[in-house]
Amino acid sequence: MQSNKTFHTRFHTTFTIAAIIASGAGCATDGDADADDPTEEYASELLGCYGTIDAKYQALGGPGGFGQPLIPESTTAGSTGTHRVYSSGAIYRRFNQCAWAVQGGILEKWGAQGWELGVLGYPVSDEEWVTDQRGRVSHFERGSIYWSPATGAAAIRGPIRTKWLAMGGVHSVLGYPVRDEAKAIRPPVIQEFEWGTIYSSPLATPYAVYGAIGQLHRELGGATGVAGAPTTDESSCWPSTLGTRCQRFERGMITWTASVGPRFRPS
């Protein structure tokens, strides 16, 4: 459970969000949609598409389901939609689009990203269960925010999100994102997950490093260390004996075998 935290919203209304984040990710209606499927049709998720904020609010249960309104409905900062804040979250709607609810730790993370004017844009789904039932997710125009009790909320977008979803998303060897993507010296962007890291560059395909190879890579200093940034994904070595794994880096290769473990071989 997160502690009380008061923040000043960019529409100049100060309120305490303890009630919004008290349960971690929020209190959205539970759903069983395939939230981490990149082909998901958001408009059909959960309660469906509602063309007004009030209609959405009533569908969420009104005061009994989404709390009392704290401010009147008003135009968003960029004058591209409307929003209203309630004691259990907020509902946003881009003009001529569906209205969607954002809550709890996901709402707080989205606010830190710049709300609808930030890199993620407007919400395009309600908060819902991720298919592994360990966490919650809300999708936005240009990315997603995932939350779990173990990891908190983290935003994921762009080539790193595409790579992660292709690997299996939360079901992959990486698990949930634990931090937002961050700028680095080399490569330019990295994002950490429960069990690994994805490195991304505008000039190259994103690569994931995880497991025993990832552990040794970190011990060697990561992308700025002895081995450098990854230049391939992990794969079976060839030619080699069955079960050997290899991953190439800027200044060498890390190999792994069950009998020896990971070893760095400089180029």
Are 215 and 109 members of one domain? no
Q: Is residue 204 part of a domain?
A: yes
133 & 208 share domain: no
Neighbours of 72 (CB within 10 A): 7
Q: Looking at the structure, tell me whether residues 26 and 97 fall in a common domain.
A: yes
Q: How many CB atoms lie within 10 A of CB 119?
A: 15
For the chain, the first-to-last Cα distance in angstroms comes to 48
Residues 71 and 123 in one domain: yes
Same domain, 10 and 137: yes
Q: What is the pLDDT of residue 239?
A: 67
Q: What is the pLDDT of residues 94-142, one digit of tens each?
A: 999 999 999 999 999 999 999 999 999 999 999 999 999 999 999 999 9
Output the pLDDT for position 9: 38
Q: Is residue 145 part of a domain?
A: yes
Predicted local confidence at residue 243, as pLDDT = 77
| Residue 25 within any structural domain of the chain | yes
The residue among 149, 171, 203 that closes a domain is: 149
pTM over the 0.75 mark: yes
With a CB cutoff of 8 Å and minimum separation 6, the contacts of 248 are: 230, 231, 232
| Cα 138 to Cα 35: distance, rounded to the nearest angstrom | 8
131 and 171 Cβ atoms separated by less than 8 Å: yes
* Residue 25: predicted pLDDT: 42
The boundaries of the domain holding residue 132 are 6-149
The verdict on 252 and 206 lying in the same domain is: yes
User: Of 149, 167, 195, which residue constitutes the final position of a domain?
Assistant: 149
**257, 142: one domain:** no
The token pair at 201 is: 């560059």
In this structure, the answer to whether residues 44 and 142 fall within a common structural domain is: yes
The pLDDT of residue 252: 98
Whether 132 and 232 map to the same domain: the answer is no
Q: Verify that 50 and 126 share a domain, yes or no.
A: yes
Among 149, 167, 197, where does a domain finish? Answer: 149
Model pLDDT, residue 29: 34
The answer to whether residue 208 sits within a structural domain is: yes
Task: Read off the tokens for 9.
Answer: 């919203």
- Residue 35 within any structural domain of the chain: yes
Our count of domains for the chain comes to: 2
The stretches in the chain having pLDDT less than 50 are 1-35, 37-46
